[in-house]
A and B are shown apart, each in its own frame.
Chain A
Amino acid sequence: MIVTIVFYGLAAIGLIVSLIKSKEKTKIALKKAWKAFDNILPQFLGIILLIGIILSLLTPQQISQVIGEDSGWIGVLIASVIGSVTLIPGFLAFPLAAALLDNGAGYMQIGAFVSTLMMVGIVTMPVEFLYFGKKATFLRNGMGFVFSMLVAVVMGVLL
């Protein structure tokens, strides 16, 4: 909520300053803003429906069962795949991760889940393709996936 206020506030201040300096340029800026939004709108609408579908098919109890403390590397791998294909709003992701821990998930597996959730985004790839192309997109997500394994190992050792 605070974040929303801060960002709308920043945009409002920016717009006011811009308007004072040049009405013409502000008009162009708003047109560009709309164009940038319009560019990702079609993919975006598809993505939020896909997220809704994935999240309603997976429940915390189901996830905890497969990434339990004794699930080892298989569990880490499964957790990473789940983290990669889901896109959970931030304010829901951490309570969910905490709930998974309470339901019996291991720290190593949760580390992999949280890290891939942040760094790897399979469902947002259509938008990423538009700006970075396929090669860079696969590269970035691939490296994020491998790096998340590393995070999992460190979490497993330290926690």
Chain B
Amino acid sequence: MNKKRMEILKKYRFFLVMLVVSLVILLLNPVLGKNVYRLTVDSVFEMLGVLPPIFVLIGLLDVWVKKETMVKYMGKDSGIVGVLLGFFLGAAAAGPLYGAFPVAGVFLRKGSRLANVFIIVGAWASMKIPLLLFEVSSMGMKFTLIRLVMDVFGVLIIAYAMEKILTKDDELHIYELARKME
């Protein structure tokens, strides 16, 4: 087998394992197996609902936003502006958390501060505005407010703790990874 094929096989290894597992489930318990595929199709549609425009926006941001602009608003010396922008971008996002990682990648490539990127990821995970509306209607106002207020602090604490705990080398490694994913 040639090198390129090996690489593709390696990239899709996890998917192939899951495919085999799901086929085994289908053979052993057809009802359960069909349910697996129904849920998978649901997830694909959920993804088609938000991920394609997010990736288009990532591409546009990559091409049109200058590095100096990003450094100014989200970089090391961006201060409170960077923090607020991080919260805003995360909260205005839609879709599952794995959509946040490529967005984090482009922000890192353009020179955004690590803590601000972790704020985007944290806010994306826990305070997306569209989801909050859902939360209020199913869980009630009190539950939602307690979680939201706590999460504002949680997101900040985690973001700054990450920056403190990660060494200079770790940080360089992360920026290097972001460049590799371009």
Contact = CB atoms under 8 A, between A and B. Distances in A.
A15 B60 contact: yes
B167 to A, nearest CB: 9
A56 B36 contact: yes
A133 B51 contact: no
Given A52-B22, A94-B139, A36 B150 contact: no
B51 A46 contact: no
Interface in A73-107: 87, 89-91, 94-95, 97-98, 107
User: Dominant SS at the A interface?
Assistant: helix
A128 B101 contact: yes
Given A11-B54, A28-B63, A90-B130, 7 more contacts: A4-B94, A15-B60, A50-B18, A52-B43, A90-B96, A127-B98, A131-B181
9 contacts: A11-B60, A14-B57, A46-B18, A53-B36, A97-B139, A107-B143, A130-B181, A139-B166, A151-B151
A30 B21 CA distance: 35
Contacts of B55: 33-34, 36-37
Given A94-B135, A98-B139, A136-B170, A36 B102 contact: yes
Interface in B82-114: 94, 96-98, 101-102, 104-106, 108
B139 A140 contact: no
B70 interface: no
Given A89-B46, A131-B177, A147-B154, A29 B62 contact: yes
Interface in B53-81: 53-60, 62-64
A57 B21 CA distance: 13
A7 B53 contact: yes
User: Dominant SS at the B interface?
Assistant: helix
A4 B45 CA distance: 11
B5 interface: no
B162 interface: yes
Given A29-B59, A36-B55, A52-B37, A87 B166 contact: no
Given A39-B102, A51-B40, A140 B143 contact: no
A51 B43 CA distance: 8
Given A52-B36, A53-B22, A159-B143, A11 B57 contact: yes
Nearest to B166: A136
B146 interface: yes
Contacts of B125: 118-119, 121, 144
B17 interface: yes
A143 B161 contact: yes
A131 B178 contact: yes
Contacts of B157: 143, 147
Contacts of B38: 52
Contacts of B62: 29, 32
B63 A159 contact: no
B98 A40 contact: yes
Contacts of B22: 49, 52-53
B173 to A, nearest CB: 6
Contacts of B11: 42
